[in-house]
């Protein structure tokens, strides 16, 4: 897939690799080498969260200097966040919850959105706006595997990216669920490795993440 030119959908973002890294960057100088390290390990969909003042500059740097990566913005909580992320070069957005205002702004921007849900009502609201690829957040705190199994019946046409409490030790359990397309997690981008500039360690973590297995029966 030529990610530099192809128009993406939320499903494309979720199906590209087993893990979407949840990235919190405090230093713009880390953005490009981190993105290159993740891409070298096979992870191209990069969620840079809007949790720091440097986030937008980091998104812009990755978008301009690492064309092999597909950089997105996480923690998108408002229409203004979506606009700023798109202007910085983000190619997808991830939100911790769901609001029609954010959904419609992302649609107006042609910016694929993975909206966050934690209840059946939120799933139904997202579906009313045309979304069927959703972020389950905070996954562990909101019911984890048991909740995903319960949702399979009434929401069998929805695919999820569980995020929140997912780590290398439990990621495979989540990925084994038929309604899980990928998981989100921060373990691919440990802060101590970034502080040391140990990009090879991050590449190794990315390669290990790409070896996680997903069932072939994930709903389309």
Helix/strand/coil for 42? coil
Tell me how far apart the alpha carbons of residues 113 and 135 are, in angstroms, rounded to a whole number.
9
DSSP 187: T
Helix/strand/coil for 164? coil
Q: pTM here? A: 0.94
135 is catalytic: yes
How much is the CA Rg of the chain, to the nearest whole Å? 16
pLDDT tens track of the chain, all 220 residues?
A: 445 557 899 999 999 999 999 999 999 999 999 999 999 999 999 999 999 999 999 999 999 999 999 999 999 999 999 999 999 999 999 999 999 999 999 999 999 999 999 999 999 999 999 999 999 999 999 999 999 999 999 999 999 999 999 999 999 999 999 999 999 999 999 999 999 999 999 999 999 999 999 875 444 3
Q: List Cα–Cα distances, 44 to 47, 119, 197, 220, in angstroms.
A: 10, 29, 19, 21
Q: List Cα–Cα distances, 114 to 53, 94, 102, 134, in angstroms.
A: 22, 5, 11, 5
47 is catalytic: yes
Tell me how far apart the alpha carbons of residues 140 and 136 are, in angstroms, rounded to a whole number.
9
From 11, 68, 122, 135, the catalytic residue: 135
From 11, 47, 122, 129, the catalytic residue: 47
């Amino acid at each position: 897939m030529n990610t530099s030119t192809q128009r993406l959908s939320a499903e494309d973002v979720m199906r590209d690799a087993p893990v979407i890294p949840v990235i919190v960057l405090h230093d713009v100088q880390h953005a490009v080498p981190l993105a290159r390290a993740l891409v070298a390990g096979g992870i191209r969909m990069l969620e840079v969260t809007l949790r720091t003042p440097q986030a937008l500059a980091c998104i812009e740097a990755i978008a301009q200097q690492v064309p092999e990566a597909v950089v997105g913005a996480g923690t998108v909580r408002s229409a203004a966040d979506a606009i700023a992320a798109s202007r910085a070069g983000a190619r997808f957005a991830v939100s911790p919850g769901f609001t029609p205002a954010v959904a419609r702004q992302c649609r107006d921007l042609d910016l694929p959105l993975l909206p966050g849900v934690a209840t059946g009502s939120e799933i139904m609201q997202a579906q009313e706006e045309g979304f069927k690829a959703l972020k389950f957040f905070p996954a562990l705190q909101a019911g984890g595997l048991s909740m995903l199994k319960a949702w399979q019946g009434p929401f069998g046409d929805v695919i999820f990216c569980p995020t929140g409490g997912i780590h290398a030790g439990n990621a495979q359990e989540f990925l084994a669920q038929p309604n899980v397309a990928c998981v989100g997690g921060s373990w691919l981008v440990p802060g101590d490795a970034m502080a040391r500039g140990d990009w090879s360690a991050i590449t190794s973590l990315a390669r290990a993440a790409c070896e996680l297995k997903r069932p072939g029966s994930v709903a389309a």
